[in-house]
Amino acid sequence: MKISEFARSEGITVQRAARLAREGRIPARKVSGVWEVDETAFIVRRSRRRLSEQSRSDVLRWMNHKTFDGITGVRKARAAARIREFIDSPDPVALLRDWWAGSAPEGRGGAAVVRAALRGFDQQVRDAQKHMGMWVLDSPDSVRGRISDWRAIRGVSAGELAERTDVPTSVIHTIERTGYSPRGNRDVARIVKTLRIPAVHVRTERSAHA
């Protein structure tokens, strides 16, 4: 598929499409000096369907409040998978465009990020993606619930997390309920590192209780 055809199908300029190709954000290669997009990979990427109203609402809930409070079971797992996909996406603009399919939400926060994606404002969306869930974990209250949410986002069970961190499952559940470990703050630090929670600061348990 020629880059011009890709741009037309995506509703973007050829210049922006070429930039995406240069940055490796779409599957493309140069043939005789002209960018061509891998049509098979493009079709797979376009197979992402528009999210349901509930799924869009759950994604915006996380983007606005950074929590899955009030969401449980399959619904939470589905929302967490969407957030994981957004955080890890090489092209979050295209992802949000697919999810909302031109239906611009109203409001601030996450809704503003979605509108930026629909308008092609790459940098604003990438900034939001980069800072998605930046935490200052300096008290039990700031830790409580975060571990459970990020386990869901990373798709890791408590048992798997216990194996990776050498923190007993019972202690992990205690941290999720109370925000601290009875064995010391090293447990929390190990879990934060293993789950790749983007925490900007993690203080010791003693400091957190001071």
> What are the boundaries of each domain within the chain?
3-43, 53-131, 135-202
Q: CA dihedral defined by 98, 198, 153, 182, rounded to 10 degrees?
A: -170
Helix residue spans in 89-184 (DSSP H): 92-100, 110-118, 122-130, 140-143, 146-154, 158-165, 169-178
- Residue 73 CA: distances (Å) to CA of 35, 152, 154: 44, 10, 15
- Residue 86 CA: distances (Å) to CA of 79, 175, 206: 11, 26, 35
**Amino acid symbol at 159:** G
Return the CATH architecture of domain 135-202.
Orthogonal Bundle (1.10)
Does the reported pTM lie above 0.95?
no
Run of H or E residues at 202? strand 199-202
**Residue 86 has which token pair?**
């957004």
Residue 127 CA, distance from chain mean position: 12
Q: Which residues pair with 34 in a beta bridge?
A: 31
Task: Specify the DSSP class assigned to residue 137.
Answer: E
**Tell me: the pLDDT tens digits for 15-58?**
888 888 888 777 788 888 888 887 655 544 554 678 889 999 99
Which of 86, 54, 96, 51 minimizes the C-alpha distance to 71?
54
Residue 117, classified by CB atoms within 10 Å of its CB into exposed (0-12), middle (13-18) or buried (19+), is buried
**Tell me: the pLDDT tens digits for 138-196?**
788 878 888 889 998 888 899 999 999 999 999 999 999 998 888 888 899 899 899 98
Residue 189 CA, distance from chain mean position: 21
**Tell me: the pLDDT tens digits for 68-118?**
888 888 888 889 988 988 988 888 998 999 999 878 899 998 999 999 999
CA distance 76 to 81: 9
CA distance 9 to 105: 23
